[in-house]
Amino acid sequence: MIVTVAPETSFIFLMMFCRLGTMIMLMPALGEIIIPARIKLVVALALTAVMMPLVGDAYEGLPSTPFLLAWLVLSEFMVGLLIGAAARLLMSATQVAGTIIAFQTGLAFAQNVDPTQGIQSALVGSFMAMLAVTMIFVTDLHHLLIAVMHDSYTLFKPGAALPLGDFVQLVTGIVSGMFKLGVQLAAPFIVFGLVFYMGLGILSRLMPQLQVFFIALPANILLGFVLFMVLIGVMMSWFLGYFEETIIQFTA
């Protein structure tokens, strides 16, 4: 038995794989650095095969010239790159919050390689980033990411001109919102650090003979851990709400 694949079918599959594969390589939860590249490749191929009957009609057939083919490949890659990178930026809010918390609790020098970002960062930030990825899967928000891949063919038609101005405006808003959210998540620790060190300053003036440093460092770390334990649930809920609210903008 001879199995033949029409050129149009192969063309549509490869174009969809170009867009979806780029998204999966960048999107949070689905495209983390700790996930082997072969696994991400298999997921991209599987999602392409599943979505092809649903959105394959968005393609109008084989381009008539090599120039049009190159433009279509480039536009598909750019759509996947821009959407995936915009979603990836959201995860940086946990790094911003974790870094601020680490500075306020005296744990800034405790660093390791963050498995989600591939860079060295504070342990608190790495923990929050890994917890955020876990919570995305637990709360089924990764289904929303798959819905974004499907709806991208409604928002961005294959071969159409890319709204680069809108993309720049959206990414700028995401970056500013990410930093804002990171500071908001760490706000209780900023207040804690301000009150704690102000109290130590007053104590050192009232009791000059007291070795404030030997009392402050263990107390700062202990109180920081207690505060972190109390607030981590609210912080992650706030982050997931912001994550969902932002990702929904990419759905039709």
Q: Residues 144, 247: contact at Cβ < 8 Å?
A: yes
Which residues lie below 8 Å from residue 162, measured CB to CB, with a gap of 6+?
75, 78, 79, 82, 156
Each of the 252 residues of the chain gets a pLDDT tens digit; together they read 344 467 788 888 888 899 898 888 888 877 777 778 888 888 888 988 888 888 888 887 777 788 888 888 888 888 888 888 888 888 888 888 888 888 888 777 777 666 666 667 778 888 888 888 889 888 988 888 888 888 888 888 887 777 878 888 888 888 888 899 989 999 999 888 888 888 877 777 777 776 767 777 788 888 888 888 998 889 999 999 999 888 888 887
Q: How far apart are CA 241 and CA 160, in angstroms?
A: 32
Predicted TM-score (pTM) of this structure: 0.81
Which residues lie below 8 Å from residue 197, measured CB to CB, with a gap of 6+?
216
Which residues lie below 8 Å from residue 116, measured CB to CB, with a gap of 6+?
28, 32, 33, 34, 91, 126, 129, 130, 133
Q: How far apart are CA 71 and CA 175, in angstroms?
A: 29
Q: How far apart are CA 155 and CA 58, in angstroms?
A: 11
**Which residues of the chain form beta strands (DSSP E)?**
111-113, 120-122
Q: 100: helix, coil or strand?
A: helix
Q: What is the pLDDT of residues 92-115, one digit of tens each?
A: 888 888 888 888 887 777 776 666
The predicted structure's pLDDT at residue 206: 76
| Main-chain dihedrals φ then ψ at residue 122, nearest 5 degrees | -65, 150
Q: What angle do CA 187, 191, 196 make, to 5 degrees?
A: 145
Q: 112: helix, coil or strand?
A: strand
Please report, for residues 23, 134, 137, 187, the alpha-carbon distance to residue 98 in angstroms, rounded to integers and kept in the order given.
26, 16, 21, 11
